[in-house]
Amino acid sequence: MDRNQLTQSLNLREELIAVGRPNRPGKRLVPSSITLHNPGNTGRTADADRHSKMVRNKGYHEGSNGAKIWVSWHYTVDDQCVIKQLPINEMAYHAKKGNGTSIAIEVCMNAGIDQAAANARAARLVAALLYDFGWDVNALKTHKDWTGKNCPQLLLSDWAAFKKNVEAIRTSITAASLGALSTKSHDVTSSRQKSSAALGEPSEDDLSVEIDHDLMTDQFLDTL
């Protein structure tokens, strides 16, 4: 598939977490891998749009002591679209040590979703990122790889097949054809990125935060 066609097949839009929000701490990410998650919410309305609203307008879990645990990720995927939530040169709070080096993708699992279509869209997004970075499929990781958490809960049971599909897409990608409409402004790797020079370095505390998908309830997503 032509690289531009691949982007067009994603139905990608940007809804970035605002600069200065606690779950967009402005720390540098030099990515070397991509980490997949399933958010855990099976509610009927827990689609990409609602997760995007949550991560931009709320963005935290409440810990057992009531403390706010700020969480974030780079892309939300469902069966209709991909929503970019953070520039990929900025750290998200999703998988402890993975925060410092990994791009985070949440694949929705709401009731009524066409899960096969959502998984296929996620596979195309991952393949596009691998292609753009020049990585092979070994750069694809799970939340479980980082912390042992059972995530992405829907994909782990068939992880080898998912990776194989990603690799098949990646190796079929051809360079964008000459004369094709530029999709740069909506491409998976471009966005209104801060210059890396303006970003801080992740601290030990930054690398201790992970998403608790058990808390991704409907109540949690009710943000407005």
**Nearest distance in Å: CB 213, Zn ion:** 5
143 scored as a contact of Zn ion (CB under 5 A): yes
Query: ∠20-24-30 over CA atoms, to 5°?
Result: 130
Q: With residue 133 as reference, give the H or E element that holds it.
A: helix 115-133
- How far is it, in rounded angstroms, from Cα 153 to Cα 157? 8
Q: Which is nearer to Zn ion, 125 or 151 (CB)?
A: 151
Structure tokens at 117: 């279509």
Distance of alpha carbon 88 from the chain centroid: 9
Q: How many residues bind Zn ion, per CB under 5 A?
A: 3
Q: Which is nearer to Zn ion, 163 or 194 (CB)?
A: 163
**Nearest distance in Å: CB 3, Zn ion:** 28
Q: Is the dihedral of CA 215, 34, 93, 223 positive or negative?
A: negative
What amino acid is encoded at 186 in this protein? H
Chain residues 37-66 in contact with Zn ion, contact rule CB under 5 A: 37
CB-CB contact of 33 with 140 (8 Å): yes
74 scored as a contact of Zn ion (CB under 5 A): no
141 scored as a contact of Zn ion (CB under 5 A): no
151 scored as a contact of Zn ion (CB under 5 A): yes
**Nearest distance in Å: CB 145, Zn ion:** 10
CB-CB contact of 30 with 95 (8 Å): no
Chain residues 3-42 in contact with Zn ion, contact rule CB under 5 A: 37
Residue range at the interface with Zn ion (CB under 5 A); choices 96-104, 122-130, 151-159, 216-224: 151-159
144 scored as a contact of Zn ion (CB under 5 A): no
Give the bridge partners for 90, in sequence order.
Answer: 28
- How far is it, in rounded angstroms, from Cα 158 to Cα 36? 13
Q: Which is nearer to Zn ion, 103 or 176 (CB)?
A: 103
Q: Name the residues that contact Zn ion, by CB under 5 A.
A: 37, 143, 151
